[in-house]
Amino acid sequence: MRASGVVLITTLAVLAAALPRASAGDIVLNEVMADNQAAVPNTGQYPDWIELYNKSTQYLNLGGMGLTDDPLLPGKFVFPPNTLIPPHGFYIVWCDDADNLPGLHTHFGLNNKGQTVALFDLAPGGPTALDTVSFGPQLPDLSIGRVPDGTGGWVLTVPTAMGTNLAQALGSAANLKINEWMAKPAAGDDWFELYNPESLPVALGGLFLTDNTTIPTLSPIPALSFIGAEGFLALIADRNPANGPDHVDFKLAASGATIALYDRNRALINLVAFGAQSQDVSQGRLPDGAANFVSFLVSATPGDNNYLPLSNVVINEVLSHTDPPFEDAIEFYNPSTADVDLSGWYLSNDKRTPKKCQLPPGTILPAGGYCVIYQSLFCPDPLLPTSFTFNSAHGDAAYLFAAVNGVLTGHRAGVKFGAAESGVSWGRYYTRTVDDFVPLSQRSFGVDNPTSVGDFERGKGASNAPPKIGPVVINEIMYHPPDVITATSTNDNVLEEYVELHNLTASAVPLCDPFYPANTWRLANAVSYSFPQRVSIPPRGYVLVVGFDPATNDLALLNFRMKYSLADTVLIYGPWQGKLGNGGDTVELQKPDTPQLPPHPDAGYVPHLQVDRVKYTDGFPWPAAADGSGASLQKRAPTDYGNDPLNWFAAAPSPGRSNGTLEFQAARRVSGSVVLEFMGEAGQTYTVQCCDSLSAGAWLKLKDIPLVWFTQSYTVTDALPAGSGARFYRLVSPAQP
Domain presence at residue 1? no
How many Å apart are CA 457 and CA 452, to the nearest integer? 9
pLDDT at 737: 34
Report the run of H or E that residue 69 belongs to, with start and end: none
The partner residues of 510 in beta bridges, in order of sequence, read 536
Gap between the Cα atoms of 697 and 230, Å rounded: 62
C-alpha 439/C-alpha 426 separation (Å) is: 4
Please give, one letter per residue, the 3-state secondary structure of 596-665. Answer: CCCCCCCCCCCCEEEEEEEEEECCCCCCHHHCCCCCEEEECCCCCCCCCHHHEEEECCCCCCCCCEECCC
Residues 589 and 690 in one domain: no
Name the amino acid, one letter, at 210. T
Please report which confidence band the pLDDT of residue 415 belongs to, taking 50, 70 and 90 as the band edges: very high
Residue 371: CB partners within 8 Å, gap ≥ 6? 331, 332, 334, 342, 363, 364, 365, 460, 461
Q: Say how many CA atoms lie within 13 Å of 494 toward its Cβ.
A: 13
Residues 678 and 614 placed together within one structural domain of the fold: no
Interacting residues of 658 by C-beta distance below 8 A, sequence separation 6+: 733, 736, 737
Residue 403 has pLDDT above 70, yes or no: yes
pLDDT tens, residue by residue, 529-563: 999 999 999 999 999 999 999 999 999 999 999 99
pLDDT for res 14: 47
The answer to whether the peptide bond before residue 467 is cis (omega within 30 degrees of 0) is no
| Tens digit of each residue's pLDDT (9 = 90 or more) over 168-223 | 999 999 999 999 999 999 999 999 999 999 999 999 999 999 999 999 999 999 99
Residue 9 confidence (pLDDT) above 90: no
User: Could you tell me if 225 and 333 lie in one domain?
Assistant: no
Residue finishing a domain among 427, 456, 485: 456
Q: With contact defined as beta carbons under 8 Å apart, do 719 and 675 qualify?
A: no
**Does 422 fall in a domain?**
yes
DSSP secondary structure, 501-544, as one string: EEE-SSS-EESEETTEEEEE-EEEETEEEEPPTT-EEPTT-EEE
Residue 419 lies in a domain: yes
How many structural domains are present in the chain? 5
Cα–Cα distance measured from residue 512 to residue 522, given in angstroms and rounded to the nearest whole number: 9
402 and 496 both lie in a single domain = no
Q: Which domain holds residue 686?
A: 666-732
Write the burial class of residue 373 (CB in 10 Å: 0-12 exposed, 13-18 middle, 19+ buried). buried
Q: Based on the fold, state whether residues 191 and 261 are members of the same structural domain.
A: yes
Kindly state whether residues 573 and 677 are assigned to the same domain. no
ω before 287 within 30° of 0 (cis)?
A: yes
Residue type, 637: A
Asked if residue 483 belongs to a domain, the reply is yes
Q: Is 175 exposed, middle or buried, given 0-12, 13-18 or 19+ CB atoms closer than 10 A?
A: middle
Tell me the pairing of strands 65-68 and 77-78.
antiparallel
Question: Are the CB atoms for 501 and 537 separated by under 8 Å?
Answer: yes
Q: Cα–Cα distance between 24 and 10 in angstroms, integer?
A: 29
- Asked if 477 and 610 sit in the same domain, the reply is yes
284 and 342 within one domain: no
Q: Final residue of a domain: which of 121, 143, 167?
A: 167
pTM for this structure?
0.80
Which uninterrupted H or E stretch holds 264?
Answer: none
- What whole-number distance in Å separates Cα of residue 499 and Cα of residue 659? 13
- For residue 77, give the CATH number of its domain: 2.60.40.1260
Q: Is residue 478 part of a domain?
A: yes
CA dist 640 and 474 (Å) reads 11
Asked if 488 and 376 sit in the same domain, the reply is no
Q: What is the pLDDT, as a whole number, of residue 5?
A: 34
In a domain, 695, yes or no: yes
Whether residue 101 sits in one domain with residue 182: no
pLDDT at 6 > cutoff 60: no
- Mean pLDDT, residues 147-156 taken together: 97
Burial class (CB in 10 A: 0-12, 13-18, 19+), 724: exposed
- Both 291 and 150 in one domain: the answer is no
Q: pLDDT digits over 237-287, tens only?
A: 999 999 999 999 999 999 999 999 999 999 999 999 999 999 999 999 999
Contact partners, residue 142, CB within 8 Å, separation at least 6: 33, 35, 39, 156, 157, 158, 159, 168, 201, 226
Burial of 705 (0-12, 13-18, 19+ CB in 10 A): middle
User: Of 659, 678, 698, which one is at a domain's C-terminal end?
Assistant: 659
pLDDT at site 8: 34
Instruction: Write the CATH number for 676.
Output: 2.60.40
Do residue 637 and residue 596 come from a single domain?
yes
Is 391 a residue whose pLDDT tops 70?
yes
Nearest C-alpha neighbor of 542 from the set 657, 624, 440: 657
9 located within any domain: no
